[in-house]
Amino acid sequence: MRAFVLFVVLSSTSLAQGTEEDWLDQWLATNRISAESLDDLRVRPESQKALTKDEVASVIDRLWSARKQVLQESRAAEMKGRVIELDDKKMPFWYKTFGDKPRGGRSLFISMHGGGGAPARVNDGQYENQKRLYEPAEGVYLVPRAPTDTWNLWHQGHIDAFFDRLITNMVVFEDVNPNRVYFMGYSAGGDGVYQLAPRMADRLAAAAMMAGHPNETTPDGLRNIGFTLHMGGRDSAYNRNNIARDWKKKLAALRKADPDGYAHEVVIHEEFGHWMKRKDAVALPWMAKFTRNPFPTKVVWKQDDVTHSRFYWLAVDSENRKARARVVGSAEGNIVTVEECGLESVDLLLSDELVNLDLPVCVFHKDKVVFKRKLKRTAATIASSLLERDDPGAVASARVTVPIKAPSTSEQY
């Protein structure tokens, strides 16, 4: 998606002495975020130095503050114009703020309009209608206008990048709490929720699907968010009503098998067709009960046809990004178990929010130890994490690639 680089080249004499705070503060005082030299930073002794847990919090705070300042400058025009442009596409957006701002920042409700494969004027009308559909008790209610007028408005590959940027912008400019972001959508917008919520769940607290169709997607990735589904019982076009009933069974089965995950509420409004007369608005206060946990103790990651490089604290390199690939990881104490993985390796993006990095981390796969070692918290890893995603709530301070294929003797830990 993005390829920002957080640091410029450091001179051979700079930041060589003093405490962790000394060298970083000196650099921040004289350098700006640029698009060069992250690789140089990663091999420098200053950024490779082991950090304490307290130092990690300080480094994240200062690096994010520096990054935020640059974002405020570089994205001011798109926020003023209410249009994001990526490659050859544009996504206009509108938003309105409700209620008093909580101490931790505002909630963000991204609401996708209906329409689809129709003339632009039809989708423009749906965009305007979506602005009036819902009002949260608190938070920013934001309606984007789909960049295209195709049937799959909201689940093409470019949407993930647009929404990722949109969330970051709202965190930076409107003081949105990155742990209180919600997706919702009606009709074709509901199609988008079905697709986007599982593959972008690690950026969400909850999601609400109204009157949509899932196409080929599955609910696997919804394990750590709240998911509510509202459907008219008579909404038979494309078999939407019966598919919603089927999802109700699927979500209930997932919850039964995994009682700590898959919080959900499915409501079939039996008397209604495609239009539910705003009865579905109860989804907003239901979603608002949920707050994201960026480092949940269990992650179920099933790639969509639009693939991602990371999901919560799991990550893969470009060669391992495979459509429909599934990885399941869990953590208890300092034991991480890769329960399921069809890949040759997987990266762990670790934080003291998940494990105690003062102690060795042991990784199991199929009852075998595939990694056991104490890991360093480093400024280089923190910088890399922010570069991969402008998400201050989900920054990793230690990272390791663990082999999943049968290791050779030399690879045993």
Angle, alpha carbons 45-51-57 (nearest 5°): 125
Is residue 293 assigned to a domain?
no
Domain limit, last residue, from 252, 287, 322: 287
Whole-number pLDDT of residue 406: 44
Domain limit, last residue, from 287, 319, 344: 287
- Tens-digit pLDDT profile for residues 354-410: 999 999 999 999 889 999 999 999 999 998 888 889 999 999 999 999 998 744 433
Q: Rounded to the nearest 10 degrees, what angle do helices 53-74 and 379-388 cross at?
A: 40
| Secondary structure element (H or E) that encloses residue 206, with its range | strand 206-210
Domain count, the chain: 3
Whole-number pLDDT of residue 44: 67
Whole-number pLDDT of residue 33: 56
**CB-based contacts of 330: which residues, under 8 Å, 6+ apart?**
297, 298, 299, 336, 337, 339
Is residue 144 assigned to a domain?
yes
Q: Which two tokens stand for residue 339?
A: 């329960």
Is residue 292 assigned to a domain?
no
CATH number, position 165: 3.40.50.1820
Q: Are residues 278 and 302 in the same domain?
A: no
Whole-number pLDDT of residue 28: 74
Residues of the chain with pLDDT under 70: 1-21, 30-44, 406-413
Residue 60 dihedral angles phi and psi, to the nearest 5°:
-60, -45
Q: Are residues 311 and 339 in the same domain?
A: yes
Whole-number pLDDT of residue 4: 41
β-pairing, 314-315 vs 345-350, is: antiparallel
Q: Are residues 326 and 226 in the same domain?
A: no
Is residue 11 assigned to a domain?
no
Is residue 12 assigned to a domain?
no
Q: Which two tokens stand for residue 230?
A: 């509202």
Is residue 31 assigned to a domain?
yes
Q: Are residues 203 and 347 in the same domain?
A: no
Is residue 10 assigned to a domain?
no
Q: Which two tokens stand for residue 310?
A: 């990371």
Whole-number pLDDT of residue 184: 98
Q: Are residues 311 and 395 in the same domain?
A: yes
- Structural domain that includes position 61: 20-74
